[in-house]
Amino acid sequence: MISQRMQDAMNQQIQHETFSAYLYFSMAAYFHSKGLDGMAHWMKAQAQEEFGHALRFFNHINERGGRIELYALDQPDHEWNSPRDAFNAALKHEQFITGKINDLAKLADDENDRAAGIMLQWFIEEQVEEEDSVNKVLDLLNIAGEQGPGLLMADRELEQRVPGAILPPGETI
Ligand code: OFO
């Protein structure tokens, strides 16, 4: 059985992860409005993965006899000054999420909740990847530049992203 504190914290994390999806959808819409369909594709793939993250917490609470509660989402930003500005905002957001995952891991330690600890281990590693993948896009923009052929090349590159699996193998919605 999940504790009330862990249940509340994980319900909060469902909100954070769902907001991540919402934010990246908003960034995808921004990129489409600029004719940068490759960057929009990258953001939509990211949003899909975020929904998967929310679903992992949803399933974990449910499987441990807890009660899922969905909280309201804030309106995400919808305008950025440049592709770099949007990806910088994405990086900042991922750093915020990393902090939230670390808080959850600390709570699992404090409560000696081994099941949550094991489940959160995946998220700790995933956050390293999440920050790294945004940093790689920022590196690409630094090299390619944000105008003309360089920007087009970066956009085509990001169009190649293949969305990851939403849930672990064997787990279903
Ligand atoms: Fe769910 O990792 Fe990004 O936000």
> Taking the chain (173 residues) in consecutive chunks of 10 residues, what is each chunk's mean pLDDT?
97 98 98 98 97 97 98 98 98 98 98 98 97 98 94 97 80 74
94 lines ligand 1 (CB under 6 A): yes
pLDDT value of position 76: 98
- What is the C-alpha to C-alpha distance for residues 111 and 24, in angstroms, rounded to an integer? 33
Assess whether the C-beta atom of 130 lies below 6 angstroms from ligand 1: yes
Ligand 1 pocket test target in 127, 131, 132 with most atoms within 8 Å of CB: 127
Domains delineated in the chain: 4-158 (1.20.1260.10)
Closest to 87 measured CA to CA, from 53, 49, 132, 153: 132
